Structure formats: C-alpha cells, structure tokens
Amino acid sequence: MFNRFNLNSYFTHKISGEDFPKSKPHPAIFEYAASLSIAPKENCIVIEDSTNGIEASLGANIFCIGYDSFNSKFQDLSKANAIVRQFKELNAEVVKNLK
C-alpha cells in the first residue's frame, strides 16, 4: 500500500499488528506507535474503523476517532471519543475541539 500509493514520504515509522504477539484489542501496537512519535502521547490520535481497534486505542489511553465507513458497518464504534463518516470532516480545528 505504501509503495502503491506513494505514501512512504509521509511516514517516519511503519508498524504492523504482525509485529506484536498479541493483537487488538491489546493496546501494545498503539502504545508502541505513540512511543515512536516526537509528540507526547496526549497529542496522539488514533483513527479506527473496528471495535477491537477502538478498544486498543482506549486501552493505550489515546484519543480515538471512530471511522464509520462502508467496511465498518458491523463494528461497534460507540466507545470512540468521536465518530466521523468522512475524512473531510477532520481538520486541526475540529480535532482540537473534539479533545
């Protein structure tokens, strides 16, 4: 995906659930991702479209935005801190007001 859509230049680190012995809803992947960031964990945001991903984000104490997409129609996003249906609903000002 990163190569296909030329995304590599936008990311300094890439990790996968396959890198961890326990999968979501275990929070390890998000805790590790936040530790790689130059920003404090309190300034991190997770955008998730799955119930287990939201649980993992909240377990890591990271603000979570649920992404209600066509592919997430059978997922429970209700525990997310906020829910969006389109990414264009998000910008710095909106996120700042959500937190």
pTM, rounded to two decimals: 0.87
| Unique residue bearing structure tokens 């287990």 | 52
3 found inside a domain = no
pLDDT tops 80 at residue 54: yes
Indicate the pLDDT class of residue 94, thresholds 50, 70 and 90: confident
**pLDDT at residue 50, rounded to an integer:** 96
The residue segments making up the domain with residue 70 are 8-98
pLDDT tops 90 at residue 93: no
63 found inside a domain = yes
* Crossing angle between the packed helical segments 28-36 and 51-59, to the nearest 10 degrees: 60
35 found inside a domain = yes
85 found inside a domain = yes
Write the secondary structure of the chain as one string of H (helix), E (strand) and C (coil).
CCCCCCCHHHCCCCCCHHHCCCCCCCCHHHHHHHHHCCCCHHHCEEEECCHHHHHHHHHCCCEEEEECCHHHCCCCCCCCCEEECCHHHCCHHHHHHHC
pLDDT tops 80 at residue 2: yes
